[in-house]
Structure 1
Amino acid sequence: MKAMVYRGPYKVRVEEKDIPPIEHPNDAIVRVTRAAICGSDLHLYHGMMPDTRVGTTFGHEFIGVVEEVGPSVENLQVGDRVMVPFNVYCGSCWFCARGLYSNCHNVNPNATAIGGIYGYSHTCGGYDGGQAEYVRVPFADVGPSVIPEWLDDDDALMLTDALPTGYFGAQLGDIAEGDTVVVFGAGPIGLFAAKSSWLMGAGRVIVVDHLENRLAKAREFAHAETLHFGEHDDIVVALKKATDHLGADVAIDAVGAEADGNLTQHITAAKFKLQGGSPVALNWAIDSVRKGGNVSVMGAYGPLFSAVKFGDAMNKGLTLRMNQCPVKRQWPRLLEHIRNGYITPSEIITHRLPLEDIAEGYHMFSAKLDGCIKPVIVPSAA
């Protein structure tokens, strides 16, 4: 099969790899029909995620058709059209039993906090991802779901990470009716978080970014007010002025450790693979939310040191909530919202590329060229 393969920082290419085999009775092999490049993939692309090994195939957002199932798989059949959450999880451990699928205890021997993630380094379990023609899906009776006949492929693809994560970010903000919500980052997660905030009763939504095309998308897709942080001497002061000098009720960090990396990260990453995070957006969130407010963290941070203003958060009496999204837990409500016409996830997709051009796709997305917000990859086998 053809698959995207990592060859070092800023170096990805399409190579021939063996089609993955069934390794466990509960595995399935899925022929990928759509995949996506996620903003968090850029951390891998830039060589800033620990234990990203040469030869790895990225891609934690994908849908496809079941080609083969292991002998113990009961919930899927060959030919089923399925969407696969980015979480790899067992479904039976203490955490999975409580819906904390992203914290599964049985799928990642290399970490005590996070469970497994497709295509996201050996720090997250070492599972190959879906930017390929075929992918092995473990625990096939637990993770994937058959896509409803009425649901479009592109909308289903957005349900594998971007939409549930944005929705989860708004959910963790514990938004009360009429609240003012500020979202940092107008990438796909931030756009979905802003849109979801309205669904949870927000009275006002403000999105902060520095790319005009993304801010325009936030106004068009999420119907949000926008602030360009490059046009203000101090974005926190600007947000305070915009909120009667009190601050927002809820702040959502949809940026995380900047995917471009800060100067120190670029100097050290190649040797030390350090990306604990440059938590500018998180500190803005802490500073700009009102006293007693809520901060939700959806942005991707590495497992190492981050200089977060925790003392300020404590002294302001803030509630901080965060996690990797347990994707499948969000699907029932999101499918209702999509079917009722409240949200059309595919509206954020800006580019479609064949798998053979994925290196160009990464470059375009990384360098923010051609107004790229969300690129979708279509394997030739699709």
Structure 2
Amino acid sequence: MRALCYHGKQDIRCETVPDPKIENGRDAIIKVTACAICGSDLHLYDGIMPGMESGDVLGHETMGEVVEVGKDNTKLKVGDRVVVPFTISCGECFFCQRGLYSGCERSNPNKAMAEKLWGHSPAGLFGYSHILGGFPGGQAEYLRVPYADFGPIKVPEGLTDEQVLFLSDIFPTGYMAAENCNIHGGDTVAVWGCGPVGLMAIKSAFLLGAERVIAIDTVPERLEMARECGAVTLDFMDEDIYDKIQDLTNGRGPDSCIDAVGTEAHAAASADSVLDRIKTATFMGTDRPHVLRQAIHCCRNFGTISIVGVYGGLLDKVPMGSAINRGLTFRMAQTPVQRYLPQLMERIERGEIDPSFIITHRATLEDGPELYKTFRDKKDGCVKVVLKP
């Protein structure tokens, strides 16, 4: 089969690799009908995330048609259309039984590697580092899905691939980001990052009752999409974000702040951002947490910081004194996708949201390597890429 494979920093190739096979009775094989390039994939493309090996198949936003099922899988049958969550979860362990599926204790065969880095291992993920299992991803013609009798959700008749594809990751992630904020009527939510997850967080915040959303970015196409979603937008290259947000909230600050950026934050020549870049370039730091620092300072007293942007290692100069003295609450996670799938599928069916609004580029796997670069460089108005093998 054809697949997008990692071969080092900024080296993605479309290659022929062996077809996946059933390895466990609970497995399924799907023929991929649509997949996407995620902002998290760019951390791999840029060499930020350790544990990648040459030839690894990428991709964790995937859906398709079941073409084979394991002998113990009674949930799925050949011909079913399914969306596959990016988190691999067994459905039976301590965390899965509590709905905390991204903490699954069984799905990461390389959990010892993760424990050395983070203390404990989260769930395995598709196409995302051997620290998280080294599972081949779904930017391919076919995908093996472990625990397929628990994870995937069937797609109802009448919904297109593009309407439901983002249930695999970015819609549940953006929704969780907003849910973390415990939104009440009249609340103001600030969202840093108007990429795909940030846009889903904006939409979700309004779905959950926010009166106003302030969206921060600098890419014109993303800011325009955020405005179309109903947000007030700020360009961090043109304005002092702290001062402007205080003006917009009468000096109090937003009720909650969402970091939808994570480790590769950019900022307008701020001293802390420049220092972050120097530290990561000289291997004295692992992440660039400028956005997290800014969100903490901007948030109102006893507000909530919701973090869904990916961080990989140790963060430097995070203002915990501000957070502690002002009573901030932090909520964050890799999204337990399976927890959200039924309710979000229903919202799509009812017409409350059509996640396909963020798609700007449609292409084949062969176009994938060039589109990784286009997406990373934010060229050609690229906000979200969907590939159709």
TM range (shorter): over 0.9
Secondary structure at the aligned position of 1:230 is classed as coil
Unaligned runs of 5+ in 2: 115-119, 267-272
Q: Alignment RMSD, CA only? A: 1.5
For residue 208 of structure 1, what is the aligned residue in structure 2? 216
1:276 Cα shift?
3.5
For 1:1-20, what per-residue CA distance to the aligned partner results, in whole angstroms no more than 9, with x for missing partners? Answer: 00111110000101110001
Determine if the alignment matches structure 1 residue 240 to structure 2 residue 246: yes
Secondary structure of the equivalent of 2:387? strand
Aligned partners of 1:51 and 1:23: how far apart in 2?
A: 23
Q: Which residue of 2 aligns with 1:282?
A: 292
Counterpart in the other structure of 2:184: 176
How many pairs align? 373
Structure 1 residue ranges without an equivalent (≥5): none
In the aligned structure 2, how far is the partner of 1:178 from the partner of 1:336?
Answer: 25
Q: CA deviation at 1:66?
A: 0.8
2:61·2:84 contact (CA, 8 Å) conserved in 1?
A: yes
- In the other structure, the counterpart of 2:355 is 345
* Contact 1:275–1:301 (8 Å) recurs in 2: no
Q: For each residue in 1:203-228, what CA deviation from the matched residue of structure 2 results, as whole angstroms up to 9, or x when unmatched?
A: 111101011110000011x2111000
Report percent identity of matched pairs: 49
Match of 1:254 in 2: 260
- Note the C-alpha offset of 1:191: 0.5
Q: Which amino acid aligns with 2:233?
A: T
How much has 1:264 moved relative to structure 2?
3.5
Aligned-partner SS, 1:292: coil
| Partner of residue 5, structure 1 | 5
Contact 1:184/1:255, CA 8 A, preserved across alignment = yes
TM-superposed CA distance for 1:275, in Å, is 7.0
Partner of 1:267: 281
Counterpart check, 1:363 vs 2:377:
no
The correspondence of residues 126-137 of structure 1 with structure 2, limited to 5 A, is 126-137=134-145
SS where residue 375 of structure 2 aligns?
A: helix
Shift of 1:50: 1.1
Structure 2 partner of 1:92: 92
Deviations, residues 312-352 of structure 1 (Å, cap 9, x unaligned): 11111001111111112112221222122221100110001
Q: Within 5 A, what are the aligned runs for 1:37-76?
A: 37-76=37-76
* Structure 1 residue 106: Cα displacement: 1.0
Give the aligned residue type for 2:54.
V
Q: Deviations over 1:153-205 (max 9, x none)?
A: 01111111111100000001111111011001000111010111111111111
**Alignment-mate amino acid for residue 24 of structure 1:** N
SS at match of 1:202: coil
SS in 2 for 1:8: coil
Cα deviations across residues 118-164 of structure 1 (Å, max 9, x unaligned)?
00111211111000111110001010111111221011111111111
Structure-to-structure mapping, 1:136-151, within 5 angstroms: 136-151=144-159
Asked if residue 224 in structure 1 is aligned to residue 231 in structure 2, the reply is: yes
Which residue of structure 1 lines up, in the alignment, with residue 83 of structure 2? 83
Q: Which residue of 2 aligns with 1:331?
A: 341
1:21 Cα shift?
1.1
Give the structure 1 partner of residue 106 of structure 2: 106
